[in-house]
Amino acid sequence: MPEQIRKARPHVSQSEGLIFEKSSPGKHAYSLPPLDVPAVKPEDILGRARLRAEITDFPEVSEVEIVRHFTRLSTWNYGVDTGMYPLGSCTMKYNPRVNEVVTRLEGLANAHPYQPAAFSQGCLKILWQLERCLLEITGMDAITLQPAAGAHGELTGILLTRAYLTAQSNPRKKVLIPDSAHGTNPATGTMAGYQIENVKSNRQGQVDLDSLRAVMTEDVAALMITNPNTLGVFEENIAEIAEIVHARGGLLYMDGANMNALMGVTRPGDFGVDIVHLNLHKTFSTPHGGGGPGAGPIAVKKSLAPFLPVPVLEQQADGSLRFTYDRPQTIGRMRAFYGNFGVLVRALAYILANGAEGLLEAAQDAVLNSNYIRRQLEDVYELPYKSPTLHECVFSDKHQAKYGVRTMDIAKRLLDFGFYAYTVAFPLIVPGALMIEPTESESKEELDLFVDAMRAIAREAETNPELLKTAPHTTRVGRLDEVRAARNPILRWQPAD
């Protein structure tokens, strides 16, 4: 018998086609004031050959239809506002509403990137303040807010590594990456022109020092490490790791995706890290938006500061702020303008709301919640690594696999219980991984419901594995055929002939 589901129950959701399927000629939703300058004939000014015919199949719909269309679509989504989002490594915490309000203030939203510095002091003060806060939180010396996301920050960081080492004489050939790392790390190394070499984890799920020593040669530019790592384990030997890397003239890069566990507890700058990126859309509560926009600032030690991307924000003698471009050793520019400003505003609002005490409390609650879940589930799901964990914990589907149930099946069944899923089948060092990160934003009530759901699903795996393998059962659509999507890609709507 299927388990009783307490957290959620199915309700009617509206059907809705594609916006193109709702279109009919002559409808429109726009309104423009009448043209108050003399009309021009585009064909006279631009020439007939430069003009297009109407935009084929572009939608024609009314305002109410647009509002209903996107409202209906939104109801098919699950967000942090809906409930717990235990997606490991993604830090899906609450996104405070005041952050949304301040970023939309006219003087900020309508500020132009090329308005003169004298008329941009408000924007520049926000950036300056955020820089100071992030430097304090990471214990680093200099920072760029330019990168648009974590992976963009990684690329910035590895290009900094290359520039720094080139200035020392030799850019070197390789970047080392632990086998538990995010996929963006190796992809980044390649984009920066490095070969990738893996470093094995030991039985505690940490970087194996002997393996590291064996591969840490003078060909190695950097070790990219995630700390706490993707198992949620703090690399206890981080100081030694830094020593090994530094002894061979390499740099220690830290992927800061999991910084949420460390705020106010310890700082990358204090444990030997040379370069760290932060994901403001994780640790600092800026909303994920269904896949962006994010922001991935890069903070560095003093020795790397000359290589930071241009422009760099500087304070003048009179206290005013301006961007400077004259940096002979810079790696160049990573994107147009100065970064995802609107995201940076939200991150500062979050830090100001918390203060030092609030950030520490957030880290503590995130770690408490994760450990609470771990304790409540470790008798029903296999815990492949027993090391203490911080903000997330990783189980495997070993016990359930006996019944033919895999981590993806458990994840899909979790949707029927009213939760978003954990991260499935990652990190790669855990076969059949269930990677769970509750964040500090979940109440005990929500955590208990999650634990109940996971335990119920474990029972179902034994008694009714088919129910899991065909899950979800109560969502708008059932499990979607990804193989079909990839084999015969349909990537856009086309009118029926």
Partner 1 sequence: MRYLPTSAAERTEMLAALGCASIEDLFASIPAAIRLRHPLTLPPAMSEPEILDYFRARAQENAPDYLRFLGAGAYYHFQPVVIDALISRGEFFTAYTPYQAEISQGTLQSIFEFQTLICQLTAQEIANASLYDGSTGLAEGAIMAVRLTDRSRVLVARSIHPEYREVLATYARNQKFDIEELPYLPSGQLDPQALARRLNQQTAAVAIQSPNFFGCLEEVAALAAQVHQQGALLVSVINEPVALGLLRPPAEADIVVLEAQALGLPPSFGGPYVGVLATKEKYVRSMPGRLAGETTDAAGRRGFVLTLATREQHIRREKATSNICTNQALCALMASIFMCVYGKQGLRELAEQNLAKAHYAASALGKVPGTKRLFSAPFFNEFVLQVPGDTSLVLRRLAEQKILAGIELARFYPELKNTLLICVTETHTRADIDRLVAGYRAALGVGGA
Site for partner 1 in 439-458 (CB under 8 A): 440-444, 446
Nearer to partner 1 by Cβ, of 155 and 312: the residue is 155
Q: Which segment (18-26, 218-226, 429-437, 461-469) binds partner 1 by CB under 8 A?
A: 18-26
Q: Output the furthest CA–CA distance in the chain (Å, rounded).
A: 77
Interface with partner 1, residue 82, by CB under 8 A: yes
Quick one: which H or E segment has residue 220? strand 220-226
Q: Report the b/e string of 84-101 with b at 16+ CB within 10 A.
A: bbbbbbbbbbbbbeebee
Nearer to partner 1 by Cβ, of 75 and 402: the residue is 75
Interface with partner 1, residue 42, by CB under 8 A: yes
Q: Which segment (109-117, 246-254, 397-405, 458-466) binds partner 1 by CB under 8 A?
A: 109-117
Footprint of partner 1 on 140-159 (CB under 8 A)? 148-152, 154-155, 159
Interface with partner 1, residue 75, by CB under 8 A: yes
Interface with partner 1, residue 71, by CB under 8 A: yes
Q: Which segment (189-197, 211-219, 299-307, 452-460) binds partner 1 by CB under 8 A?
A: 189-197
Quick one: which H or E segment has residue 247? helix 238-247
| Residue of 312, 300, 228 lying closest to 265 (CA atoms) | 228
Interface with partner 1, residue 20, by CB under 8 A: yes
Question: What does the chain come to in residues?
Answer: 497
Q: Give the CA distances from residue 408 to residues 160, 412, 420, 464, in Å, rounded to whole numbers and listed in that order.
A: 38, 6, 12, 16
Provide the 3-class DSSP secondary structure of residue 63. helix
**Which residue is it, tokens 């990219």?**
224
Among positions 69, 172, 277, 301, the unique one binding partner 1 when judged by CB under 8 A: 69
Q: Which segment (103-111, 297-305, 429-437, 458-466) binds partner 1 by CB under 8 A?
A: 103-111
Q: Distance (Å, rounded) from C-alpha 396 to C-alpha 408?
A: 11
Among positions 6, 10, 77, 214, the unique one binding partner 1 when judged by CB under 8 A: 77
3-state SS, 13-48, equals CCCCCCHHHHCCCCCCCCCCCCCCCCCCCHHHHHCH
Footprint of partner 1 on 159-178 (CB under 8 A)? 159, 162
Interface with partner 1, residue 466, by CB under 8 A: no
Please spell the DSSP secondary structure of 328-354, one letter per residue: TT----SSSTTS-HHHHHHHHHHHHHH
Among positions 2, 6, 170, 292, the unique one binding partner 1 when judged by CB under 8 A: 292
Q: Distance (Å, rounded) from C-alpha 171 to C-alpha 243?
A: 20
Among positions 342, 399, 401, 452, the unique one binding partner 1 when judged by CB under 8 A: 342
Q: Which segment (213-221, 247-255, 452-460, 487-495) binds partner 1 by CB under 8 A?
A: 487-495
Rounded to 10 degrees, the C-alpha dihedral 483/488/493/494 comes to -160
Nearer to partner 1 by Cβ, of 381 and 419: the residue is 419
Interface with partner 1, residue 101, by CB under 8 A: yes
Among positions 6, 57, 214, 302, the unique one binding partner 1 when judged by CB under 8 A: 57
235, 207 in Cβ contact below 8 A?
Answer: yes
Interface with partner 1, residue 52, by CB under 8 A: yes
Residue 394 phi/psi, 5-degree rounding, is -125, 115
* Residue 111 CB neighbours (<10 A): 15
- The DSSP 8-state label assigned to residue 224 in this structure reads E
Nearer to partner 1 by Cβ, of 74 and 462: the residue is 74
Interface with partner 1, residue 106, by CB under 8 A: yes
Q: Which segment (211-219, 340-348, 395-403, 459-467) binds partner 1 by CB under 8 A?
A: 340-348
Interface with partner 1, residue 495, by CB under 8 A: no
Kindly state the number of chain residues that form the binding site for partner 1, as judged by CB under 8 A. Answer: 203
Footprint of partner 1 on 204-263 (CB under 8 A)? 233-234, 236, 238-239, 262-263
Provide the 3-class DSSP secondary structure of residue 428. coil
Interface with partner 1, residue 315, by CB under 8 A: no
390, 382 in Cβ contact below 8 A?
Answer: no
Footprint of partner 1 on 381-420 (CB under 8 A)? 387-388, 390, 411-412, 415, 420
Footprint of partner 1 on 295-314 (CB under 8 A)? 309
What's the closest the beta carbon of residue 403 comes to partner 1, in angstroms?
A: 21
Integer-rounded Cα Rg, in Å, for the chain is 25
Interface with partner 1, residue 113, by CB under 8 A: yes
